[in-house]
């Protein structure tokens, strides 16, 4: 009942011709992922050219960040209305690189989430624990705190448009993937939190993606878990073959 979402986070990679080629290659083979929603999230500067390369293929367009104010004196930032103007449908928020390298807090992520929802952009809100937090047995506490903080004041109507991504920080770009049990445990916990905050029917509609070293050879196992509704993919999303192989496993 939940359509799997396979989202590629290109991070700060590609250039003009690389972005165009990658988007075109994915768009031309989008039919291979029938029953799965495909999404690419290129760097902001390439959003327009990626949108044009996708054309009318069934591939969504996402951004990697947004600033929560409508417009004004915020040098270097990009607003929700600018993203909407470019045809962007989704925005990744609270990625661990933004939390840990750029110092974003749950409060920042929450402001961005509420601004995105107000503009009818669908947020993909990332949560995930550090290795030391997992080793200290604090995973569930950290995820709960990030869930509460990042999704504060999101209404029942708005949460339906929201996607959550569980990305253990120790698994991102490291080649260390969470076991299916580790992933499913956190995903089930997130679904329980959605049930407590909203209700079971709403919780059953929300997609919870896994992210962290997803590759074609581990995707099938992860995506077969009952509460894993897709993947947020970094490294492997930069090769059309790998990205589409992961989507085919969904
Ligand atoms: C990510 O950056 O969201 C990610 C999951 O990266 P990777 O797939 O490279 O671990």
The residues annotated as belonging to the active site are 95, 167
- As a whole number of Å, the end-to-end CA separation of the chain is 13
Nearest partner of 63 among 53, 236, 81, 32, judged by Cα: 81
pLDDT of residue 197: 98
Residues that constitute the known binding site for substrate: 9-11, 173, 213, 234-235
**Ligand 1 pocket, mutate which of 212, 239, 247 (most atoms under 8 A from CB):** 212
Which atom of ligand 1 is nearest to 231's Cα? 5
The widest CA-to-CA distance across the chain, in whole angstroms, is 48
pTM over 0.95: yes
- What is the C-alpha to C-alpha distance for residues 193 and 142, in angstroms, rounded to an integer? 13
Q: State the distance from the centre of ligand 1 to the C-alpha of 214, rounded, in angstroms.
A: 7
d(CA 242, ligand 1 centre) in Å: 13
Helix or strand or coil: residue 39?
Answer: strand
CA 136/CA 232 separation, integer angstroms = 26
**Contact residues of ligand 1, CB 6 A cut-off:** 9, 167, 172-173, 211-214, 232-236
How many angstroms does the Cα of residue 9 sit away from the middle of ligand 1? Answer: 7
Distance 71 CA to ligand 1 centre (A): 30
Q: Whose CA is nearest to atom 7 of ligand 1?
A: 234
Gap between the Cα atoms of 91 and 122, Å rounded: 6
- Separation of alpha carbons 225 and 75, rounded Å: 43
**pLDDT at res. 250:** 81
Under a CB-based contact definition with an 8 Å cutoff, are residues 119 and 81 in contact? yes
Identify the pLDDT of residue 1. 83
* pLDDT value for 64: 98
Contact 146, 138 (CB under 8 A): no
3-state secondary structure of 6: strand
ipTM of the complex as predicted: 0.97
The per-residue pLDDT for 70 is 85
Q: Mean pLDDT of residues grouped by 10 in the chain (250 residues)?
A: 96 98 98 96 98 98 96 96 97 97 98 98 98 96 98 98 97 92 98 98 98 96 97 98 95
Candidates 211, 208, 200; CA nearest to 234 is 211
What is the model's pLDDT at position 35? 94
Q: What is the pLDDT of residue 149?
A: 98
């Amino acid at each position: 009942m939940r359509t799997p979402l396979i989202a590629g986070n290109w991070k700060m990679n590609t250039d003009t011709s690389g972005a165009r080629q990658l988007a075109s290659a994915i768009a031309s083979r989008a039919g291979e992922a029938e029953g799965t929603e495909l999404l690419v999230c290129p760097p902001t500067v390439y959003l327009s050219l990626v949108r044009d390369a996708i054309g009318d293929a069934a591939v969504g367009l996402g951004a990697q960040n947004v600033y929560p104010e409508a417009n004004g004196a915020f040098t270097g930032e990009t607003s929700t209305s600018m993203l909407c103007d470019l045809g962007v449908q989704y925005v990744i928020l609270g990625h661990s690189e933004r939390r840990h390298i750029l110092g974003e807090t749950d409060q920042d992520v929450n402001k961005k989430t509420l601004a995105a929802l107000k503009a009818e952009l669908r947020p993909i809100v990332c949560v995930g624990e550090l290795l030391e937090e997992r080793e200290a047995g604090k995973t569930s506490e950290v995820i709960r705190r990030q869930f509460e903080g990042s999704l504060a004041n999101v209404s029942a109507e708005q949460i339906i448009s929201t996607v959550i991504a569980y990305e253990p920080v120790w698994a991102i770009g490291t080649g260390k993937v969470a076991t299916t049990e580790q992933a499913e445990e956190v995903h089930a916990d997130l679904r329980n939190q959605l049930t407590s905050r909203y209700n079971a029917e709403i919780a059953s509609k929300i997609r919870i993606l896994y992210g962290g070293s997803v590759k074609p050879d581990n995707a099938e196992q992860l995506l077969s878990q009952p509460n894993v509704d897709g993947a947020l993919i970094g490294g492997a999303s930069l090769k059309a073959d790998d990205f589409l192989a992961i989507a085919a496993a969904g």
